[in-house]
Amino acid sequence: MIGVIASPSKSAVVREFFELFKTPWEWCRIGRRYEVLLCAGAGDLPVSNADIVLSYACEASGPDTEEGAGRVSQRRHARMLRYREYQVPIYGDCVTFARGSDVLVDQETLDPVIHLHRSGATTVARVGYDLFGEIEALLTAGQPASNAGIPALELHIALLRELIVTSGAPLVEIPPVPDGHRFIVCLTHDVDHPSIRRHRCDHTTLGFLYRATFGSIKRVCRKRLSMRGLLRNWVAAAKLPLVHLGLVKDFWYEFDRYLRLEMGLRSTFFVIPFGNRPGHLGAGPPSGLRASRYGAADISGKINELMSAGSEIGLHGIDAWLDGSSARVELDVVRGITQRQEIGVRMHWLYFGQESPLALDHAGADYDSTIGYNETVGYRAGTTQVYRPLGVTRLLELPLHIMDTALFFPSCLDLTPGEARKRVGHMIDNAMQFGGAITVNWHDRSIAPERCWDDFYADMVREFKREGAWFATAADVTSWFRRRRSAVFEDAGCQSGLPHVQGTLGQAPDLPALQLRVYNVQQTQLSR
């Protein structure tokens, strides 16, 4: 059992942190002795109450020098630390010590950020930053694109786990890994342009013609497109008049091909509720380019076919991010077509604001999957896990990690297929190390001319399968994490120094089971 001492203002952050690091904990009770005591913030440490005390604070205190840490640096803001082979960005203040452990150091000065010492029978680990301040920053402001590739929140959990385990304290956790699998993959598709026939001589059609002809030549020269892709684009451009006449198949209407590429793996399609509505920016005039030429009702037949094949349908919101009433109206469109009440959301163009989680929560959205980057791939919230945004009641956030346009657009990462494979491979490595989910967004038209990103998508899906992923719709991923969140550790006390843990796991027969991971514990009980 971990006892926690932290500012009452951080209570929501602490609770969410321990939903992500799913291990037994409670607020520190006077008079109780703990195996581990986690203290956040400067102040006197009740070292007599624990076998191990972990003290996180971003300012120096008197005990630091008294316990042999030596000179303590002045508070520095926004530092990059090195934790073994990983970089760990600190977005608040941080202090370093003259003497300490080399497990965690300032990347620039190489000064240690952890000082270990003994106080009687207690081991004290002094860590020079505010843990829950960092978690709050990640779950609210998120990370800048420059740090997108760093799963910072998972690294904070990994460091805390290592400090506990290597000290010899018992630790029991339910990792974010479904039983029988190594990690989770959620395949999703934003449906922006399901039919080129709906576009006459507008900016979308003209842009397609340029990119399919002259633009394709440029892409071949830059090794962003194969010669087969070039030929495919030229043929599509030549057929465009016949598509508009209805004489040949609309090559952007590729829903069935997604089902074939995914071979029964089940994915999620986010559909726009209203056609020809650009929505609002929150301030300033709306952009006409944001309006789509279709609404969900225009493809209701295909939506029913996708659902019959096992796919999930979610809302690709326009104004749902702004307020609860707009969110409710847009959700009701999808509810009416699907005849399902629990609908998830991803915002068109990834629009989101500080009040968006509350708006979606009040509108009854089951989950959101907007938190990601337009310009790069990675971990905006620093995590591979589904989490609950601070201040909401039920809504969960399924972070977006990989988007096709971010990988390949010239204005974004502009990667070759080989470079993109390396970037995705690194994220697979992280998922196998930390668990959680990789959420992929491959737009509806991205397997068609002129993008021709279908071969990369198919190869990526095969790689996920080879590495032992559980493939699930966005709704099923969030349901699995809800099940994990429902697990309750009940303190049954200790006998002969061996902790006993009981868990109430709930019932979810269609989802993979939870796992129990045990460190330094000889006997553990888990009841279902």
| pLDDT single digits (tens) 154-170 | 999 999 999 999 999 99
Pick the CATH number of 2-169 from 1.10.1060, 3.30.450, 1.10.530, 3.40.50: 3.40.50
Note the pLDDT tens digit of each residue in 431-451: 999 999 999 999 999 999 999
Q: Please report the pLDDT score of residue 64 as a whole number.
A: 53
Check whether 104 has a pLDDT greater than 80: yes
Q: Please report the pLDDT score of residue 527 as a whole number.
A: 34
DSSP 41-60: SSS---GGGEEEEEEE-SS-
3-state per-residue secondary structure call for 119-186: ECCEEEEEECECHHHHHHHHHHCCCCHHHCCCCHHHHHHHHHHHHHHHCCCCEEECCCCCCCCCEEEE
**What amino acid is encoded at 420 in this protein?**
A
- pTM for the predicted model, two decimal places: 0.93
**Poorest-confidence range of 298-302, 398-402, 490-494?**
490-494
Q: Please report the pLDDT score of residue 73 as a whole number.
A: 67
Of the two residues 522 and 234, the one the predictor is more confident about is 234
Q: Please report the pLDDT score of residue 355 as a whole number.
A: 96
- Band of the pLDDT at 65, cuts 50, 70, 90? low
Note the pLDDT tens digit of each residue in 6-40: 999 999 999 999 999 999 999 999 888 899 999 99
Domain positions in the chain are: 2-169, 183-194+253-481, 196-251, 488-528
Give the integer Cα–Cα distance in Å for 328 and 368. 14
Q: Please report the pLDDT score of residue 122 as a whole number.
A: 86
Check whether 309 has a pLDDT greater than 70: yes
Question: In this structure, which topology does domain 183-194+253-481 adopt according to CATH?
Answer: TIM Barrel (3.20.20)
The mean per-residue pLDDT over the stretch 122-133 comes to 94
Q: Can you tell me whether residue 325 is helix, strand or coil? A: helix
Which tokens go with 195? 């039919």
Give the integer Cα–Cα distance in Å for 316 and 191. 8
100-104, 186-190, 262-266: range with highest mean pLDDT: 186-190
Note the pLDDT tens digit of each residue in 476-526: 999 999 999 999 887 644 444 444 444 444 455 689 999 999 998 654 433
Which tokens go with 399? 């972070």
The mean per-residue pLDDT over the stretch 342-358 comes to 97
Of the two residues 65 and 20, the one the predictor is more confident about is 20
Q: Please report the pLDDT score of residue 31 as a whole number.
A: 86
Please give the backbone phi and psi of residue 278, each rounded to the nearest 5 degrees, phi first.
-75, -20
3-state per-residue secondary structure call for 206-234: HHHHHHHCHHHHHHHHCCCCCHHHHHHHH
Check whether 210 has a pLDDT greater than 70: yes
Q: Is 507:528 a contact under the CB 8 Å cutoff?
A: no
For the chain, give the mean pLDDT: 91
Give the integer Cα–Cα distance in Å for 396 and 186. 15
Check whether 60 has a pLDDT greater than 80: no
Q: How far apart are the first and last CA of the chain?
A: 20
What percentage of residues in the chain have a pLDDT greater than 90?
A: 81
Check whether 44 has a pLDDT greater than 70: no
- Band of the pLDDT at 184, cuts 50, 70, 90? very high
Q: Please report the pLDDT score of residue 45 as a whole number.
A: 67
